[in-house]
């Protein structure tokens, strides 16, 4: 609680006078009245009550006479000044200054594009509202220097990438949320989609943070989210670990990365019509269906085999003779832009990687083309953090 403002008082002018000298009717000198030291004989105390001696009464009378003389001298001085200078300067009024005590710690201004989370109960509803959109959550702490340095950049990024949701959580105000997400340092940035944590970035490097955001917004369903994806499922493109992906017999000019983007580029085989694609996920997922789009000129994929969670990479010969998790013969409608290829959901419940063997295409062409490729499903650990219960310790304790 801020201290109440203390007033500053300035004294009146002029002070009372006790001795003055006059010459030819004019005031020549004056001595201010000063407090006289109290005489030890002024009063004695008995049973807590003062008893004045005759000396103290005499002293009091003398002091009263001195004050009267001082008032008379002051009146004469004012009269002289009035006659000689035309006016008597009145005593200056007392001036009172109100000095506001500063607050204990200034609160930062609310950022335009960033939602500030006030308490633990607000966090999960905000993630739910973000849905399949990318949610970038900054965990900060008041008084943290790096947090203050990156705050303007974080605000600017929220305005630059409106297709994502930006949240800010103070680890002191939301201790439960910080503990659930294992926050050990600030600033820490967590990335969520469908309430599932998909990545993390730590530190006050604005350039590195923006690169992370751009990486996760690449091919983001966002505002262009497919309406044919069933409720409760999502495009798993953000969970694909590109560093763990591999494609055998890809063309040097038209590589695998091209089919992960919705643009005019494409993946094309090199020596013949076959492709052997391995897709790794950043965390275990459940696969509901897939999209495997191709052109209608005969180069689109037709016969495919799907394998999951292989301990090592396979070659074409092994793929030909091995029993797949599911084998499919695709129709021309399956590989259109709005086509969805259904998978046997019960066989794809805990998937870390998928190997796709494309055996042939529709027109027996020399090469096969894939214009876009993704999976639809859910992460295995789509957990509501509010379901976690503390089993040891108290709220706010470190673990």
Which CATH number does the domain housing residue 130 bear?
3.40.30.10
CB burial of 302-317 (b: ≥16 within 10 Å; e: otherwise) equals bebbbbbeeeeebeee
Tell me how far apart the alpha carbons of residues 336 and 295 are, in angstroms, rounded to a whole number: 8
Catalytic residue status for 147: yes
300: nearest Cα among 373, 249, 226: 373
The residue among 299 and 47 whose pLDDT is bigger is 299
* Alpha carbons 13 and 133: distance in angstroms, whole number: 72
Please report where in the chains the tokens 């998790």 appear, as a residue.
Answer: 325
Question: Which tokens hold the place of 285?
Answer: 């997922």
Percent of the chain with pLDDT over 70: 65
Task: Kindly name the residue from 78, 147, 174, 247 that is annotated as catalytic.
Answer: 147
Are 349 and 257 within one domain? Answer: yes
Q: Does residue 82 form part of some domain?
A: yes
pLDDT band at 8 (very low <50, low <70, confident <90, very high): very low
Whether 242 and 365 map to the same domain: the answer is yes
Q: What percent of the chain stands above pLDDT 90?
A: 48
- Of residues 107 and 290, the one with the higher pLDDT is 290
One domain for residues 212 and 262: no
Q: Is 395 a domain residue? A: no
pTM: 0.54
What does residue 19 show for φ and ψ, rounded to 5 degrees? -145, 135
Q: What is the pLDDT of residue 39?
A: 42
The 3-state secondary structure of 34-73 reads CCCCCCCCCEEEECCEEEECHHHHHHHHHHHHHHHHHHHH
Number of Cβ within a 10 Å radius of residue 32: 11
Say if CB 206 and CB 153 are below 8 A apart. Answer: yes
Q: Does 165 map to a domain?
A: yes
CA 94 from centroid of its chain's CA atoms: 50
C-beta separation of 276 from 316 below 8 A: yes
Residue 237 has a pLDDT of 86
Residue at 125 is within a domain:
yes
259 and 366: one domain?
A: yes
Residues 175 and 262 in one domain: no
- CATH no. for residue 350? 2.60.120.470
Helices (H), the chain: 54-85, 120-130, 145-160, 175-180, 206-217, 316-321
Q: Are 340 and 234 in contact (CB under 8 A)?
A: no
C-alpha distances (whole Å) from 125 to each of 176, 187, 356 are: 15, 22, 38
Q: Which of 156, 166, 153, 163 is nearest to 126 (CA)?
A: 166
Closest CA to 305 of 288, 315, 320: 320
Q: Are residues 239 and 220 in the same domain?
A: no
Q: For residue 349, tell me if it sits in a domain.
A: yes
Element (H, E) at 285: strand 275-293
Shared domain for 64 and 123, answered yes or no, is no
Q: How confident is the model at residue 22 (pLDDT cuts 50, 70, 90)?
A: low
Neighbours of 68 (CB within 10 A): 10
State the Cα–Cα distance between residues 200 and 143, nearest whole angstrom: 22
The answer to whether residue 259 is catalytic is no
Please state, in angstroms and as integers, the Cα–Cα distance from residue 33 to each residue in 67, 173, 291, following that order. 8, 61, 101
Per the residue annotation, which of 8, 42, 78, 144 is the catalytic one? 144
Residue 209, both tokens: 């943070």
- State the DSSP H helix or E strand holding residue 366, giving kind and residue range, or none if neither: none
**Whether residue 270 is found in the same domain as residue 195:** no
Enter the tokens of residue 50.
Answer: 């003062």
- φ, ψ for residue 160, nearest 5 deg: -75, -30
The average confidence (pLDDT) of the chain is 77
Of the ranges 42-46, 95-99, 110-114, which one carries the lowest mean pLDDT score? Answer: 95-99
Instruction: Report the number of distinct structural domains present in the chain.
Output: 3
Q: Does residue 386 sit within a domain?
A: no
Domain boundary among 99, 133, 149: 99
152 has pLDDT over 90: yes
Do residues 209 and 142 both lie within one domain? yes
Judgement on whether residues 12 and 45 belong to the same structural domain of the protein? yes
Burial of residue 265 (CB within 10 Å: 0-12, 13-18, 19+) is middle
For the stretch 340-392, pLDDT in tens is 999 999 999 999 999 999 999 999 999 999 999 999 998 887 544 444 344 34
The answer for residues whose C-beta is within 8 angstroms of residue 104's C-beta and 6 or more apart is 2
Note the pLDDT of residue 67.
Answer: 64
How high is the pLDDT of residue 163?
86
Residues 259, 175 within the same domain: no
pLDDT of residue 60: 62
What is the DSSP code (8-state) at residue 15? P
133 shares its domain with 220? yes
Band (pLDDT 50/70/90 cuts) for residue 113 is confident
**What tens digit of pLDDT does each residue of 193-242 get?**
878 888 899 999 999 999 999 888 875 554 445 556 777 788 888 888 88
Examine residue 267 and state whether it is found in any structural domain, yes or no: yes
Domain of 338 in residue numbering reads as 234-379
Is residue 354 one of the residues assigned to a domain? yes
């Amino acid at each position: 609680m801020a201290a109440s403002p203390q007033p500053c008082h300035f004294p009146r002018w002029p002070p009372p006078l006790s001795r003055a000298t006059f010459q030819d009717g004019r005031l020549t000198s004056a001595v201010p009245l000063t407090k006289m030291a109290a005489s030890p004989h002024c009063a004695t105390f008995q049973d807590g009550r003062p008893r004045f001696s005759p000396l103290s009464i005499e002293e009091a009378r003398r002091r009263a006479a001195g004050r009267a003389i001082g008032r008379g001298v002051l009146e004469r001085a004012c009269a002289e000044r009035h006659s000689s200078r035309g006016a008597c300067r009145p005593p200056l009024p007392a001036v009172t200054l109100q000095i506001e005590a500063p607050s204990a710690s200034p609160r930062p201004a609310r950022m335009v594009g960033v939602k500030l989370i006030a308490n633990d109960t607000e966090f999960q509803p905000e993630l739910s509202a973000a849905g399949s959109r990318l949610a970038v959550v900054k965990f900060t702490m008041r008084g943290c220097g790096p947090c203050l340095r990156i705050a303007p950049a974080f605000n600017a990024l929220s305005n630059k990438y409106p297709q994502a949701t930006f949240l800010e959580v103070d680890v002191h105000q939301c201790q439960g949320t910080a503990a659930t997400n294992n926050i050990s340092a600030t600033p820490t940035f967590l990335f969520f989609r469908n309430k599932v944590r998909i990545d993390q970035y730590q530190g006050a490097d604005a350039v590195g943070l923006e690169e992370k955001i751009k990486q996760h917004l690449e091919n983001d369903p966002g505002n262009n989210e497919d309406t044919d994806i069933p409720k409760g499922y999502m495009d798993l493109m953000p969970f694909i670990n590109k560093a763990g992906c591999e494609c055998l017999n890809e063309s040097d000019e038209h590589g695998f990365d091209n089919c992960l983007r919705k643009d005019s580029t494409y993946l094309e085989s090199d020596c013949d019509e076959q492709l052997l694609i391995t897709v790794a996920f950043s965390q275990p997922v459940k696969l509901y269906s897939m999209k495997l789009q191709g052109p209608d000129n005969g180069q689109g994929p037709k016969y495919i085999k799907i394998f999951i969670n292989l301990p090592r990479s396979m070659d074409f010969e092994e793929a030909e003779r091995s029993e797949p998790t599911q084998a499919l013969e695709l129709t021309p409608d399956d590989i259109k832009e709005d086509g969805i290829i259904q998978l046997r959901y019960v066989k794809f419940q805990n998937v870390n990687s998928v190997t796709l063997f494309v055996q042939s295409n529709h027109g027996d062409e020399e090469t096969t083309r894939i214009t876009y490729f993704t999976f639809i499903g859910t992460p295995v650990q789509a957990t509501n953090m509010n379901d976690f219960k503390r089993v040891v310790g108290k709220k706010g304790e470190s673990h």
